[in-house]
Copies of this chain bind each other. A is one copy, B any other.
Amino acid sequence: MTETPDAEGTPDPETDPGSPRRGLSRRGLLGLLGAGAAGLAVGGAGGAAIAASVASAAGAGVPGVHPFFGAHQSGITTPVQEHLHFASFDVHDDTTRDDLIALLQDWSYAASRMTQGLDVSASGAVGGSPQAPPDDTGEALGLPAAALTITIGFGPTLFDKDGVDRFGIASRRPDALAVLPRFVGDDLDPLASGGDLCIQACADDPQVAVHAIRNLTRIAFGRASLRWSQLGFGRTSKTTSAQSTPRNLFGFKDGTANILADDADALDGHVWVAESDGPAWLVGGSYLVARRIRQTIEVWDRLRLAEQERSVGRSKGEGAPLSGGGEFTPADFNAAGDTAAPAIDPRAHVRLAHPDANGGIRMLRRGYNFVDGNDALGTLNAGLFFLSYQRSPEQFITVQRALSTDLMSEYLRHVGSGVWAVPPGATPGSYVGAGLFA
């Protein structure tokens, strides 16, 4: 493997004890052999920990601990956690196919541990040699797993970057995996868009999510670099009927009609890639679309309440459709309003985004609010980090095009965008994306 020089020189991962890769790659491969083998190979507490991890992966159901291994990656239908750290990575041009595979193995190994509340490796933050940098950065020491999920995706440029097939996988790119078309309202920052790989880390403690992204970024050293990243809070969706419907920064409930994790028919119909969709390596996976959406909240806040509600098509308090009823009453787009206009405006967000207006299309959303300081005019840099999982990016594209006349979109500006194929879950002894390289 060729290292990319950085300001501190070019360490050799095979000889430099300072390279996290050296330790992790070795242990990663051992760990991925399976619980028993890893237990024997690593020994002691480390082995027990890995065994516990795999046991949990089998569905032991410890509260606040989600399995890493399984038919699907966790973090899609997992009850939406309170915090997000999302990261997009560029794989270095001199990284080889084998390096990329090793990176995915190392990430899978570390993720299989961190999601169980363990350090990234058996020696962790303080169990290694005092004369070596610790494998784990340590800020999550003593914290529980906090429902951490780590979800890995592959962007279009991983398969084909400016016509170059860097990793011998161009022929395996799904046709549907392509940079999203330009939409009305797009004002994309290229440096906050795209990326060869992505990792979505969700947890109920932001320090746990940050620890995961930081350590996975560190593990990627010399092979891939952080391209852009985003923290989020205040989940703007729900994936179980037990979760209350949260509010976005426009002050409205968001996610009322989301696909729920126990709605197997809807998941099969709208979220999971089916055998008939192909390719085979992606069956049981999904497509992730991320959009960084700035909300011009200061302008929105000066709208009359009636105009806010007209734009959304729902009441601000209860979140009921303006056609009447409660939050979960289906919207009646034909209901008459107080005037000649229908109760729900023809350009209301709820109407244009509704499955009825889009050939029945639905998506599983799990976006987050964000506030990233303010600009020089004192305007909060705030908005929605939209995340949706769907069986095909075409679902997002269709709905986003339908929203071009959305009244609410006057107060939105899409400044970041990305799409990734999210492989199915890894089986114990393997790694996320193994099918792509088989």
Q: A217 with B380: in contact, given A126-B317, A130-B305, A373-B372 (CB under 8 Å)?
A: yes
Nearest residue (CB) in B for A134 is B305
Q: A interface vs B, CB < 8 Å?
A: 8, 18, 20, 83, 85, 90, 125-126, 128-134, 136-142, 191, 205-207, 210, 214, 217-218, 225-231, 233-234, 244, 246-252, 297-299, 301-306, 308-309, 315-317, 369, 371-374, 376-380, 382
Cβ A371 vs Cβ B210 within 8 A: yes
Q: A316 with B126: in contact, given A210-B371, A218-B301 (CB under 8 Å)?
A: yes
Nearest residue (CB) in B for A310 is B130
Cβ B207 vs Cβ A369 within 8 A: yes
Report 28 cross-chain contacts, Cβ distance below 8 Å, ordered by A residue.
A18-B302, A83-B233, A85-B371, A125-B251, A125-B317, A126-B316, A129-B305, A130-B304, A133-B301, A137-B249, A137-B251, A138-B251, A139-B248, A139-B369, A141-B247, A142-B247, A206-B233, A207-B233, A210-B369, A214-B297, A214-B380, A214-B382, A218-B298, A229-B371, A230-B373, A231-B231, A372-B372, A372-B373
Partner of A378, one of B136, B226, B252, B376: B226
Q: A376 with B218: in contact, given A130-B305, A138-B252 (CB under 8 Å)?
A: no
Q: A133 with B304: in contact, given A138-B316, A191-B376, A380-B214 (CB under 8 Å)?
A: yes
A319 to chain B, nearest CB (A): 10
A18 surroundings in chain B (CB, below 8 A): 302, 304
A128 surroundings in chain B (CB, below 8 A): 305
A136 surroundings in chain B (CB, below 8 A): 251
Cβ A227 vs Cβ B371 within 8 A: no
Given A134-B305, A210-B249, 6 other A-B residues pairs in contact with their CB atoms under 8 A: A90-B378, A130-B304, A134-B308, A141-B251, A207-B246, A207-B369
